[in-house]
Amino acid sequence: MLLKDKVAVITGAASARGIGKAVARLFAAHGGRVAILDLDEAAAVAAAADIGAGHIGLACNVTVKADCERAAKEILQRLGQVDILINNAGITQPLKIMDIQPENYEAVTDVSLRGTLYMSQALIPHMRSRRSGSIVCLSSVSAQRGGGIFGGPHYSAAKAGVLGLARAMARELGPDNIRVNSLTPGLIQTDITAGKLTDEMKVEILKGIPLNRLGVADDVANSCLFLASDLSSYLTGVTLDVNGGMLI
Ligand code: NAD
């Protein structure tokens, strides 16, 4: 029961096969109460009900600062406290450099960068007042490799930005006992990747993964639990590569 008496907020966690939902399920299994945020209210409420009683689901578009502030207020009213924030919401687009239009750039960078900034800003005052908090930000191996299989260059840039933002927050918030760490998943089988991998692509991809398999959402959730919980009590500003050895 690593998260007994803890409350966690997870953005973009309503997607059934997604990383956020797997994190929510694992956190609930470890005794935490969870607030699931996503674009669609009904989907967020259903996802919260699906992981058990005592959890809540709320609509929140993380690119809109007022939405993040409203969600934070409602979570504090209904659950009383927030100990953990997982900045998980993200979108990707498989575009080449010359095909990226202004609206593509804005859509992809907004969710990862504005979303991480605005949701963190909405909860930092509360965490500061309790002198306690753990924030985990979802970046990607695309940030480190300069390109992924499904993410375009704008996605790599947004996810590299997330790493910088997370480290800067870790430095600034450390004295308030708020830890901020990042995860850089490799290729994880979720809706982002579903149906897009041919058998030939898989064989090619596996050549570059020493553990010789694609990741699953639970692989990321387990590392997220480590970073979110007191198991990582002296870690801040770090990045965990959850990628099966892709970068060795
Ligand atoms: P997913 O598409 O399954 O889930 C993403 C969720 O974010 C969806 O439920 C979607 O509705 C939500 N969302 C999108 N825009 C939002 C917004 N503006 N406000 C609130 N919610 C919003 O994706 P996933 O594969 O579970 O990815 C989760 C995170 O992990 C993302 O940040 C992604 O970039 C990152 N990641 C994924 C992989 C992978 O291979 N799947 C690899 C590396 C990093």
- Tell me the CATH class for 7-241: alpha beta
pLDDT tens digits along 131-155: 999 999 999 999 999 976 778 999 9
Cα torsion angle, 27, 33, 38, 43, sign: positive
Local confidence band at 72 (pLDDT 50, 70, 90 cut-offs): very high
Asked if 135 and 178 touch (Cβ cutoff 8 Å), the reply is yes
C-beta 185 within 6 A of ligand 1? yes
Give DSSP secondary structure letters for 142-164.
HHHHT--SS--HHHHHHHHHHHH
The C-alpha atoms of residue 159 and residue 173 are separated, in whole angstroms, by: 21
Q: Ligand 1 atom closest to Cα of 215?
A: 40
Total residue length of the chain:
248
C-beta 19 within 6 A of ligand 1? yes
Provide the percentage of residues in the chain whose pLDDT is more than 90: 92
Q: Judge whether 105 counts as a catalytic residue.
A: no
Q: What angle do CA 145, 151, 155 make, to 5 degrees?
A: 80
Distance 175 CA to ligand 1 centre (A): 30
pLDDT tens digits along 30-55: 999 999 999 999 999 999 999 999 99
pLDDT tens digits along 157-174: 999 999 999 999 999 999
Local confidence band at 129 (pLDDT 50, 70, 90 cut-offs): very high
ipTM over 0.85: yes
Residue 162's pLDDT is 99
Domain ranges in the chain are 7-241
Q: In what helix (H) or strand (E) does residue 138 lie, and over which residues does it extend?
A: strand 133-138
Q: What is the pTM assigned to this prediction?
A: 0.98
Mean pLDDT for the stretch of residues 179-192:
93
For residue 7 the two structure tokens come to 């409350």
Give the neighbor-by-neighbor strand order of the sheet with 33-38.
Answer: 56-59, 33-38, 7-11, 84-87, 133-138, 178-185, 239-242
C-beta 191 within 6 A of ligand 1? yes
Q: What mean pLDDT, rounded, does the chain reach?
A: 96
- Residue for token pair 């609930």: 28
Ligand 1 atom 38, closest CA: 188
Distance 112 CA to ligand 1 centre (A): 9
Residue 150's pLDDT is 75
- Residue for token pair 């480590």: 226
Is a pLDDT exceeding 80 seen at residue 195?
A: no
